[in-house]
Each structure stands twice: as structure tokens, then as C-alpha cells.
Amino acid sequence: METKQTGWTIIIVFAITLTAFILPSVWLIPQGTGRVFMLAFSPVLIFVMLLFYQLTVKVDRETIKIRFGIGLIRKSWKLSAIESAEPVRNSFFHGWGIHYTLNTVVYNVSGFSAVELRFRNSKRKVRIGTSEPERLASHINRMLEKK
């Protein structure tokens, strides 16, 4: 099973920010360090947007794999280490991106729906953002039952 969550807010914010950097540097700012800085910073913004514009979750017989954007940021967990999966709703404070709290790591690019993974022999939890939390949690739990 594979699900994808697209971070439209992230894409729009970065597009607006890029426009705010590029347009003034081309038309308004005279030649100089300010213009060079703004034009040089634009590829950095594009790169960060490509890293976080989407979250892909793949579940197979052995693992749960997540991949952000173009795939440079990825993580996987063995199903044998997972106790259960449950659909949850993240709060505003969980944010978007990758966030660490006391015993929970959140991977998310949009919205507040997620699947919370609980691990065997550990208090740590992982929340993975998804637009289909019930379907994803149900699939993971079915895979766990087969083990």
C-alpha cells in the first residue's frame, strides 16, 4: 500500500516567498550584493521546497517506509518492531515537517490527520501524516496480524 500527502500550503508559501525574492531582485534592486544575495538564496528555497513538498508512505510485508519530497529524507521501521497503528489527529503544535517531542516524532507535510505507531518494548511513538489515516492504520494493523 502507498499513500501520498501533498503539502499545498508549503508549496504556496514557498512559491510566494520565491516570487518575493526573485521579482524585486530582477527589477527593483540595482546591481550589487543585495541582488546577488537574493538571487543566490532562491535555489536554497527551491531545494527546501523539493525536500518537503510531499510525504509518501509505503507499507510492505516487512517495513513501513516514508519519504519526503524528492526522497533525500527518508525513514523506515520494521513491522516486527511495531505493536499497533492508530488513526490520530495532530494538534496545531505538532506542526509540519519533522518534529521531536518527549516520546513522539512527527513526520507531516499537511493537515492534522496522522497514524500513530506504537512500538514493542518502548514508550516512543511515531506519527506519520496522511490524508487517509483510517485506511493506512487498518492496513498496517492487518499486516501486523499476519506476523
As a whole number of angstroms, the distance between CA 95 and CA 37 comes to: 29
Cα distances (angstroms) measured from residue 17 to each of 65, 98, 126 = 31, 21, 31
- Structural domain spans, the chain: 7-52, 55-146
State mean pLDDT over 111-140: 95
pLDDT score recorded for residue 93? 73
Residues 70-106 have pLDDT tens digits of: 999 999 999 999 999 999 998 877 777 898 988 899 9
State pTM to two decimals.
Answer: 0.84
Beta bridge partners of 56: 4, 67
Q: In this predicted model, what pLDDT tens digit does every residue of 35-60 receive, in sequence order?
A: 677 677 788 888 999 999 999 999 99
Residue 114's pLDDT is: 95
- Separation of alpha carbons 3 and 49, rounded Å: 20
Assess contact for 33 and 39: CB atoms under 8 A.
no
Confidence of residue 25 (pLDDT cuts 50, 70, 90): low
Q: Fill in the DSSP letter of residue 94.
A: G
The answer to whether residues 27 and 66 touch, using CB atoms and an 8 Å cutoff, is: no
* Element (DSSP H or E) covering residue 74: strand 73-78
CA distances from 95 to 7, 141, 147 (A): 12, 26, 33
The class of domain 55-146 in CATH terms is mainly beta
